[in-house]
Amino acid sequence: MTSSSVAVIDYGMGNIRSVLNALDEVGAEGELIGKPEDLGPFEKAILPGVGAFQEAMENLNESGMTESLNAHVSRGNQLLGVCLGMQLICLDSEEDGFHEGLGYLNAHVVSFPQEAGLKVPHMGWNAIEFSRDHAVFSDIETGSDVYFVHSYNVQCEDESNVLATSNYGVPFVSIAASGNVLGMQFHPEKSQGVGLQLLRNFISL
């Protein structure tokens, strides 16, 4: 176990391999963690994911990984939620009903407004505009493009948690943080140089 060791949480919700590959590319030691008891030694963890909020929370709860993540965060260790993972760290989601999340971020997951006439999912490259300074933005310029695939978006109750926003017909939160918990609505592992730099910066936090 080294300072660059990163646990990648495997709870059956996709895109694990691309995250591990990206970590390898930035010189980190990504380790796939599927058992709750194996998360303990890690100071940094990534919660990735693609798919439905309800199924994801059921998988985390039934596997015991929710309790392990709670302990990880309460110890002050770093956690990064990516795409669906960012939504899971929120209080709740309105996707297919109302479902409670992990609650690390004072935020809600909502649908894009139908009246905006938007094609959903929001898929492709879009800019992130910084809302405030943060170490995760080291060597990255505001307005940089990253790669999104999502049908729901995060709205924060506390503006101080918003690190960056993007716009898809309506503004939404693309990066948020609360203490030692960080969320990115896009896929840094698929966002080329900017995404890799974001992962480097997370590892350095």
Nearest to 202 by CA among 127, 125, 138, 130: 138
Cβ atoms within 10 Å, residue 115: 8
Catalytic residue among 95, 108, 150, 189: 189
Q: Is 189 a catalytic residue?
A: yes
Give the active site residue among 72, 83, 99, 108.
Answer: 83
Active site (annotated) includes residue 187: yes
Separation of alpha carbons 107 and 91, rounded Å: 6
- Residue 158: C-alpha distances to residues 12, 105, 148 (Å): 31, 9, 23
Is residue 72 annotated as a catalytic residue, yes or no?
A: no
Phi, psi for 2 (deg, rounded to 5):
-125, 175
Which of the residues 72, 108, 150, 187 is marked catalytic? 187
Catalytic residues: 83, 187, 189
